[in-house]
Amino acid sequence: MVTVSTGNRGSTTASVLTLADATALSDPGRFPDLALVAPQYGASATLTRGASEGSYQVVGTTEAYAAVRNLESASGTFLTAEQVAENAKVVVLGATVASDLFGGQDPLRQILRINDALVEVTGVLASTGGAGFGSSDTQVFVPSELALGRLFNVNRIRGSYAISGMSIQVVS
């Protein structure tokens, strides 16, 4: 796996990566050595379910992210291509987030709030055993344009949303 990062989320300098860049790199006709490209934009947000509330890292990405990062679902599914294309209001929870907000209850098909947007839980990841910032256990995942446009109102650069990085799986 190769990870590419701007190092400056939301910057408007020439070093900006965009969603269009990730889409272009996903074209096997142009880049046959790249198996999967997963754009990502991460920012902290407040997640609320009833009286339960917490601040978590929200990652806007595509269906390729789970495969590139070797993430497995404990229940439900990771983001699907259809959900990403439709900019669906869905969320996949890291194991710790699911436990924090739902305790022992099944979070699937439950509604929670991310900032001011209502989203439906469609999956929970298996625990990776990591802790702290950057661990998938303490993150949540939403379709890229839901994060970029609705949740965080990210700037557009050359007509495309700026992203904070991408994870790339090369052909072996």
The answer to whether the beta carbons of residues 162 and 17 sit under 8 Å apart is: yes
Sign of CA dihedral 141, 124, 23, 164: positive
Could you give the residue ranges of the DSSP H alpha helices within the chain? 19-25, 64-68, 81-85, 95-102, 144-145
Find the length of the chain.
172
Confidence bin at 135 (pLDDT 50/70/90): confident
Q: Write the pLDDT tens digit of every residue in 32-84.
A: 999 999 999 999 999 999 999 999 999 999 999 999 999 999 999 999 999 99
Task: Please report, for the chain, the start and end positions of each structural domain, with discontinuous segments joined by +.
Answer: 2-170
Per mean pLDDT, which of 2-6, 8-12, 144-148 is the most reliable?
144-148
